[in-house]
Amino acid sequence: DADVTQTPRNRITKTGKRIMLECSQTKGHDRMYWYRQDPGLGLRLIYYSFDVKDINKGEISDGYSVSRQAQAKFSLSLESAIPNQTALYFCATSGAGTGRPDTQYFGPGTRLTVL
């Protein structure tokens, strides 16, 4: 889905650095999500937002923060990156007002390596 984009696609950084991952969508969806994917652990929810003024912690929010700058933009920040945050990060969207409010559409992913 080109409608959900993530930047950067790949990032290598060092321990202690602040990192921001960005997600944009042109689907007009109100709901946005951040997941991380690790081998054998599936997709784990970090944060989710049901509208611009609504931010919720997911299963593994420690060490992360988010910002919903607009309905179409949802950013994930690592304030002080550590090696065990090395993972593949996915943004996803869903639309409460669409015919399929439960379907989540994923971005292409950001591969983050923390050295």
Partner 1 sequence: GENVEQHPSTLSVQEGDSAVIKCTYSDSASNYFPWYKQELGKRPQLIIDIRSNVGEKKDQRIAVTLNKTAKHFSLHITETQPEDSAVYFCAASRNQGGKLIFGQGTELSVKP
Binding residues for partner 1 (CB under 8 A):
1, 31, 33, 35, 40-45, 48, 56, 58-59, 90, 94-96, 101-104, 106-109
Task: Kindly tell me the burial class for residue 83, based on how many C-beta atoms sit within 10 Å of its own C-beta (0-12, 13-18, 19 or more).
Answer: exposed
Of the pair 96, 115, the CB lying nearest partner 1 is at: 96
Of the pair 48, 74, the CB lying nearest partner 1 is at: 48
Smallest distance from the beta carbon of 58 to partner 1, in angstroms?
Answer: 7
The CA distances from residue 115 to 12, 23, 39, 80, 99, in Å, are 7, 23, 18, 12, 43
Smallest distance from the beta carbon of 103 to partner 1, in angstroms?
Answer: 5
List the Cα angle 85/90/95 in 5-degree steps. 140
Of the pair 14, 57, the CB lying nearest partner 1 is at: 57
Q: Could you tell me the two tokens for 103?
A: 């379907």
Smallest distance from the beta carbon of 115 to partner 1, in angstroms?
Answer: 22
